[in-house]
Chain A
């Protein structure tokens, strides 16, 4: 009896609950980033190396709009729109000419774009991180902590954006176009769907989602030119673990991996907790290479 209650007391409940919350918050942001990546990959087989930089650009646009208007929500919306347009422009100029070529070329092209964007941001904004002020600053008491409401807001908004996107895909005309193009690009064209523009739109939507994540996440960390790099790796891991091309899978994987990392950080340092995602990836590749959250193909 004493042994059991001793074990009970050893489990740091409060920490676990706190980390669960943290994990979900980070997971939702990651899910938003990964969704864009999955959309782009699923529809045009492009591994968008520059996705982290779109996240970063979004955050910077947020900084700029916030400075001009003082309104966080305006910053969120405008930053997403601006980056969506930038994404569309990038897709039209650099990715469209590469359609139909070896997939290696698009990986390289987006890698090149990521280098250019990172250095451009460094050039324009300098190396000193910027700050985005969160729109709500209240906190609530969670055990012995003051937990910021803003974090909860992030999770809720990310979920809302993802949910809205899912509804758009399921019911909207253009959503059907996107799904049809993802499944069979050739027949979609034969049905009159303007596939080149669907590709551009999908890239723009993915970019917009990444940008929104950047703005939402901005207040939690400093906005600087390299902030996209960690996210792109995590996002790739999550997309592979979730089953490439599966939207639901990457969302589930995002939360799964983020929770695990959050829990790990109870016992080890955050840098080492980062290894968790790598371990999950390796295990997935060894035992369920098609993805953890995707039904095994028959």
Chain B
């Protein structure tokens, strides 16, 4: 018999945070409102990467590719289909990132650890180069600009996004994503991938088709990263190759480590922490904020390896 832990504390905490996020645009000045929205989007990216790094134990630097393809996929929908349709943008974006994910997933089964990490890094660079040089399709260096689609259900109603409704939309998507991912990590599938992280040979010996689980994990991770890319595209109305550059993947991993891997919500906190630090330091040091932020990051790896929320890992996963 499985002892059921009380989930009340979790739902209370969740409700409080979501409520705060909903109120945010009403109380914060525009700059900070946008800041919070960005944290959520990057947080979603970091969360998706946590599925691979924290839960399956596969370090990936390929998330910039998933994110970027999600972004460009949305751009494709918004530019080619008139009138620009929100759901189509999401669909195209997800398909784009799923395609990349499939590609990466294939290699994920053949490589382990460091080799996989480096290869995903190189792959994200491959996509960067392709996007950068295929100017006719992707706009090359300058990227693509497009207009924001309307929020609505086709045929029923639609209205343009206001900055508030956009924020709420993002909150809804990210919150839903979190709940879905959380459910998945607590499911039998989630248990298996965690056991792959703990001891892959043993998991294989027990009889699980480790390759398939890994591939699904990559696809899952890629989909949600792509979703983050779509949200970003909608929020900012442009797509640029910079976001496919491997540094973005690096930042995602930084968010994970700073926030605490294997917690799903830790990476969001990590993203918030990083972006706040960046904001803070760039006030004093203009462009060189990465020097102190980088040093803090390194110090955290050495002295606080479980990240900000790592100590709550057990509780968060119940």
Q: Is the interface of B mostly helix, strand, loop or mixed?
A: helix
Known: A105-B305, A240-B115, A278-B125. A116 touches B295 (CB 8 A): yes
Whether A112 pairs with B122 at a CB distance below 8 angstroms is: no
A168 to chain B, nearest CB (A): 26
Q: Can you list, as one digit per residue, whether each of B99-132 has a CB less than 8 Å from chain A (1) or not (0)?
A: 0000000010011011101110110011001101
> Does A107 reach chain B (CB closer than 8 Å)?
yes
B151 to chain A, nearest CB (A): 37
Max chain A Cβ within 10 angstroms of own Cβ: one of B115, B119, B257, B298: B298
Whether B294 pairs with A116 at a CB distance below 8 angstroms is: yes
A209 to chain B, nearest CB (A): 20
Write the residues of chain B forming the contact surface with A, with a CB cutoff of 8 angstroms.
53, 59, 107, 110-111, 113-115, 117-119, 121-122, 125-126, 129-130, 132-133, 246, 250, 253-254, 257, 287-291, 293-295, 297-298, 301-302, 305
Whether B250 pairs with A111 at a CB distance below 8 angstroms is: yes
Whether B129 pairs with A271 at a CB distance below 8 angstroms is: yes
Whether B294 pairs with A112 at a CB distance below 8 angstroms is: yes
Determine the residue in chain B with the shortest Cβ distance to A230: B125
A171 to chain B, nearest CB (A): 30
A228 to chain B, nearest CB (A): 13
> Does A174 reach chain B (CB closer than 8 Å)?
no
The one of B111, B129, B290 that contacts A116, using a Cβ cutoff of 8 Å: B290
Q: Can you list, as one digit per residue, whether each of A106-138 has a CB less than 8 Å from chain B (1) or not (0)?
A: 011101110110111011000000000000000
Interface 9-residue window, one of A21-29, A95-103, A191-199? A95-103
B90 to chain A, nearest CB (A): 30
Whether B126 pairs with A285 at a CB distance below 8 angstroms is: no
Q: B257 to chain A: which residues have CB within 8 Å? A: 108
A248 to chain B, nearest CB (A): 19
> Does A289 reach chain B (CB closer than 8 Å)?
yes
Q: A236 to chain B: which residues have CB within 8 Å? A: 118, 121-122
Q: B254 to chain A: which residues have CB within 8 Å? A: 108, 111-112
Whether A271 pairs with B133 at a CB distance below 8 angstroms is: yes
> Does A62 reach chain B (CB closer than 8 Å)?
no
A238 to chain B, nearest CB (A): 11
Whether A275 pairs with B122 at a CB distance below 8 angstroms is: no
A233, B294: Cα distance in complex, Å: 20
A7, B289: Cα distance in complex, Å: 58
Whether A278 pairs with B126 at a CB distance below 8 angstroms is: yes
A118, B302: Cα distance in complex, Å: 21
Determine the residue in chain B with the shortest Cβ distance to A116: B294
Whether A47 pairs with B117 at a CB distance below 8 angstroms is: yes
What are 7 inter-chain pairs, A to B, with CB distance below 8 A? A47-B114, A103-B113, A115-B294, A118-B290, A119-B289, A233-B246, A289-B111
The one of B125, B287, B301 that contacts A122, using a Cβ cutoff of 8 Å: B287
Known: A112-B297, A233-B125. A97 touches B302 (CB 8 A): yes
Whether A274 pairs with B294 at a CB distance below 8 angstroms is: no
Q: A98 to chain B: which residues have CB within 8 Å? A: 301-302
A94 to chain B, nearest CB (A): 6
Smallest CB-CB A-B distances: 10 pairs: A116-B294, A112-B298, A115-B294, A119-B290, A123-B288, A112-B297, A278-B126, A119-B291, A104-B59, A112-B294
Max chain B Cβ within 10 angstroms of own Cβ: one of A116, A236, A240, A274: A116
Known: A47-B117, A123-B291. A109 touches B298 (CB 8 A): yes
Q: B298 to chain A: which residues have CB within 8 Å? A: 94, 109, 112-113, 116
The one of A107, A120, A237 that contacts B117, using a Cβ cutoff of 8 Å: A107
> Does A281 reach chain B (CB closer than 8 Å)?
yes
Whether B118 pairs with A47 at a CB distance below 8 angstroms is: yes
Max chain B Cβ within 10 angstroms of own Cβ: one of A45, A107, A120, A269: A107
Complex interface residues of chain A between 264 and 283 (CB less than 8 A to chain B): 269, 271-272, 274-275, 278, 281
Complex interface residues of chain A between 20 and 71 (CB less than 8 A to chain B): 45, 47
Determine the residue in chain A with the shortest Cβ distance to B250: A111
Determine the residue in chain A with the shortest Cβ distance to B59: A104
Whether B253 pairs with A244 at a CB distance below 8 angstroms is: no
Q: A108 to chain B: which residues have CB within 8 Å? A: 253-254, 257, 297, 301
Determine the residue in chain B with the shortest Cβ distance to A115: B294
Q: B294 to chain A: which residues have CB within 8 Å? A: 112-113, 115-116, 119
Whether B302 pairs with A109 at a CB distance below 8 angstroms is: yes
Whether A272 pairs with B133 at a CB distance below 8 angstroms is: yes
Whether B121 pairs with A109 at a CB distance below 8 angstroms is: no
Known: A103-B114, A122-B288, A285-B110. A237 touches B122 (CB 8 A): yes
Determine the residue in chain A with the shortest Cβ distance to B293: A115
Whether A289 pairs with B288 at a CB distance below 8 angstroms is: no
Q: B287 to chain A: which residues have CB within 8 Å? A: 119, 122
